[in-house]
Structure 1
């Protein structure tokens, strides 16, 4: 790891976080329903893009940190864009609001559709 790697990951992470914030804000302005749609859209779209780009960049999951594209785009931008922790917080809030079935369903659908989106993105890239 070099200082330049750290720079690219940090820059990409900042850009990805800003994109996540902006998309979450826009979805929140358009959707006023009871479910955390913004986090869901962000995570599923991020899974699709990372699946697609990982094939395009020929990334092996054991070695995805080394070069510029991997560091800046996959780890940085997409790592900053997607948000596992917000998904967990959203599910926790649903469960505390006595919506435990919605909380479990939200987590399950998020994981299954995220996996499907990543697989579909990888399939398209091939």
Structure 2
């Protein structure tokens, strides 16, 4: 099963992306959660633990994990540590920009799926240490 853990329902994907995901088996959608902007590292770690456990319990063959960056990073690391393949969708961006009659800039952007790119473990010898948590002074 290919688990789509994003906020982009697979029913809205173009045929090439559905076919690429379908190579792993049936596609199942699981919406990526909202992340409170004020959440600190401990809250994010707790969310990542819960979501990674839930995903692992679904026994996916592959997970498309894309959402809020810092939670995505934490979840990807936990899934990879369990041997679960995780990918990101790679697309070609096509934009058209113009100024309308009222002088406002308008833009239309379309994304054309190209491939799923696997997340990888850090390179051997590359140490990734967490930074201390900073709080904003008032």
Give TM-score scaled by structure 2 length: 0.27
The higher radius of gyration belongs to 2
Structure number with the higher helix fraction is 1
Structure with greater contact order relative to length (CA < 8 Å, sep ≥ 6): 1
